[in-house]
Structure 1
């Protein structure tokens, strides 16, 4: 299968290349393809003749999107529209990588694939508009929502916690934001299995289970031999940010599980990642 990947230089993009190594891959990092450039998107996709396009390129700086919502819309919404229209012209299926932040976090239990989105910040809004374009412009598409992504090469929560523990010696971490961590290797392998099924639709691919940021940080520290580092739970309200944060957005994998695609529990995935980086103390 000929698979074109946008955002191939990001942490998920690199994991996708590894998971799809048996296919003919056409990777484009941001430096190679600006998805907000409509002409470049059409020229690239039509000339590559892919059977599937995995659109992983996005502006994922949530606070940055809050500061510059126009750019967020241009990259995440219109960029996705351009990719979807080019896929339609090239007769290619599309995988759109979306986010838990399309939900407002008020449900009180894990979100299902067909729960109604209600984003409360510019990042989530721009990604939701991207979902709308994909669903309305294409017949063959997969929308894959993931969350709290970590993996080799990324500047993610795990790395930030370890850096802060070393630099500060104690931590204050939000205890009332709950979600589902996602290991890039597991998400990429799930997507690789998904595109073989041609079971088009909406999917939630996160590692199983949920945790607060506080509990997540404590597990990171424990597994890396830093369990002695003091961690104080604080409220979202005590940690002001430019972006409003949805407080409870675990994602339930119902549609993928029906196809036999499940991701291991997040503590197991975290342990595997830390071992891969050489940080596991146990």
Structure 2
């Protein structure tokens, strides 16, 4: 297949290119090739003549989205509408990468694919607008929600390692009441490689198996690299930031699992990722 990938230079985009390059003809679209806030995006997508477009590009700085909701909507909402219209021009299937933050975080169990979304911050609201655009404009679509991605150079794992290299005297402080699904980009890419060969269109949750808090995630990172650094649990309300993250958003992979697309435990995926990092990144 001929596959266009937006956000090709991001951490998921890079994993997609590495995973799909051997079997498909790829058209990588980075920020230099695609400006999502401009309607010319429609023509740029149409010019790829792709069979499938994987729309992984987004404004993912959740605090930046809170400071400028208009920009968040222009990139994640309108930008996705432009991508969808481009897909209509060339009759391409569309894979839209969405987020756990379309949910409010007030559930008592992991969210199913068909649970009603209710975003509580501008980032989640803008991504939900993108979902709505995809559903209304492209019949052949996959909406794939992911969460707590790691796999590139900027993510929670790398942040913990950076902080651990020069920890404060009291140790590290991590939020213990924000619960989610850590997810490895290369595992998502492998799942997408299988999904796009089907015609089972709809909404999916592609996350690694298991749930944890940010505090538990950080503790496992430190344990895996052999660092005994004090870790202090704090509450979301004690961590001052511009955005309001939903407190409980684990995702349940029901639709993908019904097709045989399952994901290993997040702890195993984390070990894989840490084993691939260059030595200079790991604290000693």
The aligned residue for residue 33 of structure 1 is: 34
Query: Residue 174 of structure 1 contacts residue 233 of structure 1 at CA under 8 Å; is this kept in 2?
Result: yes
Please give the alpha-carbon distance, in whole angstroms, between the structure 2 residues aligned to 1:152 and 1:61.
Answer: 15
3-state SS of the aligned residue for 2:47?
helix
Over residues 203-230 of structure 1, what are the superposed CA-to-partner deviations in whole Å (9 max), with x where a residue is unaligned?
A: 000101000000000000000111x100
Q: Which runs of 5 or more structure 1 residues have no equivalent in the other structure?
A: none
The aligned residue for residue 167 of structure 1 is: 166
Please give the alpha-carbon distance, in whole angstroms, between the structure 2 residues aligned to 1:246 and 1:26.
Answer: 35
Over residues 125-161 of structure 1, what are the superposed CA-to-partner deviations in whole Å (9 max), with x where a residue is unaligned?
A: 00000000001111100000000000033x1100111
The aligned residue for residue 50 of structure 2 is: 50
Please give the alpha-carbon distance, in whole angstroms, between the structure 2 residues aligned to 1:10 and 1:182.
Answer: 15
Please give the alpha-carbon distance, in whole angstroms, between the structure 2 residues aligned to 1:7 and 1:248.
Answer: 27
The aligned residue for residue 196 of structure 1 is: 197
3-state SS of the aligned residue for 1:104?
coil
Please give the alpha-carbon distance, in whole angstroms, between the structure 1 residues aligned to 2:103 and 2:46.
Answer: 34
Query: Residue 152 of structure 1 contacts residue 277 of structure 1 at CA under 8 Å; is this kept in 2?
Result: no
3-state SS of the aligned residue for 2:143?
strand
The aligned residue for residue 70 of structure 2 is: 70
Q: CA RMSD in A?
A: 1.1
Over residues 65-112 of structure 1, what are the superposed CA-to-partner deviations in whole Å (9 max), with x where a residue is unaligned?
A: 000000000000000000001101110000000000000000111000
Query: Residue 12 of structure 2 contacts residue 152 of structure 2 at CA under 8 Å; is this kept in 1?
Result: no
1:168, distance to aligned residue in structure 2 (A):
2.0
TM-score under structure 1 length normalisation: 0.97
The aligned residue for residue 235 of structure 1 is: 235
Alignment of 1:2-17 (within 5 A): 2-17=2-17
1:20 corresponds to 2:9 = no
Query: Residue 142 of structure 1 contacts residue 202 of structure 1 at CA under 8 Å; is this kept in 2?
Result: yes
The aligned residue for residue 156 of structure 2 is: 157
Aligned residues, how many? 278
3-state SS of the aligned residue for 1:54?
strand
Query: Residue 214 of structure 1 contacts residue 233 of structure 1 at CA under 8 Å; is this kept in 2?
Result: yes
The aligned residue for residue 213 of structure 1 is: 214
The aligned residue for residue 143 of structure 1 is: 143
The aligned residue for residue 83 of structure 1 is: 83
1:247 corresponds to 2:250 = no
1:278, distance to aligned residue in structure 2 (A):
4.5
1:48, distance to aligned residue in structure 2 (A):
1.6
Please give the alpha-carbon distance, in whole angstroms, between the structure 2 residues aligned to 1:48 and 1:89.
Answer: 11
Alignment of 1:171-182 (within 5 A): 171-182=172-183
Please give the alpha-carbon distance, in whole angstroms, between the structure 1 residues aligned to 2:36 and 2:55.
Answer: 9
3-state SS of the aligned residue for 1:8?
coil
Please give the alpha-carbon distance, in whole angstroms, between the structure 2 residues aligned to 1:144 and 1:173.
Answer: 28
Please give the alpha-carbon distance, in whole angstroms, between the structure 2 residues aligned to 1:245 and 1:152.
Answer: 22
